[in-house]
Amino acid sequence: MRGGGSSAKLTSCHAVFFPWISVCAILGRSETQECAYYNSSWEKERTNRSGIEPCYGEKDKRRHCFATWKNVSGTVEVVKQGCWLDDVNCYDSNECVERKESPDVFFCCCEGNMCNERFLYVPEAPPQTTSNPFPQKPQLFSTLLYSLVPIIGLAAVVLFSFWMWRHHKLAYPAALVPTHDPGPSPPSPLMGHKPLQLIEVKARGRFGCVWKAQLLNDYVAVKIFPIQDKLSWQNEYEIYSVSGMKHDNILHFIGVEKRNNNLDLELWLITAYHDKGSLTDYLKANVVSWNELCHIAQTTARGLAYLHEDIPGHKDGHKPSIAHRDIKSKNVLLKTNLTACIADFGLALQFEAGKSAGDTHGQVGTRRYMAPEVLEGAINFQRDSFLRIDMYAFGLVLWELAARCTAADGPVDEYMLPFEEEVGQHPSLEDMQDVVVHKKLRPCLRDCWQKHTGLAMLCETIEDCWDHEAEARLSAGCVEERIGQMQRQAPVIGPEEIVTVVTMVTNVDLPPKESSL
């Protein structure tokens, strides 16, 4: 296959001949200053359709050209051409050649000015096997065969038994009481699959690493699971694939891929990328104003309310009720305008009318965010019970926001995780049981918060979320409504208005506390 320009017909002959590389090609490294440019989505993305693109980059990085195209019923359709980042797979290649066998999207890259103006498809030939001119004697072969078969069979039984034991071990204990230290990052995955290019590790979690990556001209997030966490990857993929999961306050899902083979198999989950990162990371580095707190809290509550809601008449099909089961500030991502979206559905459960929750374990999630009934192991395995567990954790997230808000007339504390004052940064399950279940303690609500109309109302909402009695907790929809009312009724105030504020707090009519769960 040979391409150039926006489209070209494939030749019908069975053999394709390629010219020798031009004698004018520069030996060794070629500096790439400019590349042929083409964008098939130019109208949608409001760019030029074609032309020449100058390449820019860091001085110590190489620059390349690339081309991507498709084979549609024998016709070459160019997707994009342009400049490409420093990539060892492109080094010292003067021609743009795709060598993979029958890819869905053809990709090639090269070094040298305008080297992507023409592109080729030359699939690598399978290795040739040569027959042994000196075959073993049949008698010796038979003897070896009869000797090895029992040994191989015994080894297979041992390996299968070990696999079953390891599969059972990995499937459950990690989910029962997750660790806080996910360990070192895995090595950078191979980048042979294009046009998705990994750039840098942005976060590490219980089930793997999250990379910032480039997909053509867009940045995306790639969450990479090791093979032992296949169940979590599969569950997250299934939750994202549920009808009606596209929502502004739920992380946008793009797709999944399997990379490498056998023991090196990696499971990729690709989503939208948000540069501000998680709410945890943002609150560590920033304080928030009252309006920013309300916006983050309300959009998080809106996403959680949508997740919890059962919508039979959704335009994409029946959207079931879903419990997240690992709500925490680390799993709330922030968009550029501080709109929140909920992420990480590896532990999520979906509920359908007339069906049980299935084979699940109650004691999952992050220890410091576990509700009292989870820590006690006394969960009623019904839909509403799981949704109320989410609401307890959401109360702690609201406390994290309040603790970093500048609206109160007092100093803003350094960022701390919920219960960090009581149990430190790495609590055991027994630590959390003692504090939350036996002593019934909760993170401290500062006295100065009560002097601000809005924060006082927020404190009441927080207490209604993390109530020890699960049935008394608010629903996410009720929290969303309350926060909207707080923002309307609570302008930023000064110290001289404190007396008025105390009176206002006692007279404000909040939305009803009754949960819709």
Tokens standing for 141? Answer: 């072969």
What sign has the CA pseudo-torsion 56, 61, 64, 67?
negative
Residue 115's alpha-carbon distances to 53, 57, 62, 225, in angstroms, are: 12, 18, 14, 36
Contacts of 283 (CB under 8 A, 6+ apart): 329, 400, 401, 404, 415
> How far is 457 from 388, CA to CA, in rounded Å?
21
Q: Is the CB of residue 97 less than 8 Å from the CB of residue 120?
A: yes
Query: Any idea which residues carry the catalytic annotation?
Result: 326
Tokens standing for 498? Answer: 């404190």
Residue 43's alpha-carbon distances to 40, 266, 490, in angstroms, are: 8, 36, 45
Chain CA centroid to CA 265, Å: 18
First to last CA, the chain: 60
> How far is 412 from 475, CA to CA, in rounded Å?
29
The amino acid occupying position 121 is Y
Going by the DSSP 8-state scheme, the letter that residue 405 receives in this structure is B
Q: Is the CB of residue 202 less than 8 Å from the CB of residue 278?
A: no
Chain CA centroid to CA 324, Å: 14
> How far is 356 from 358, CA to CA, in rounded Å?
5
Q: Is the CB of residue 238 less than 8 Å from the CB of residue 251?
A: no
The amino acid occupying position 2 is R
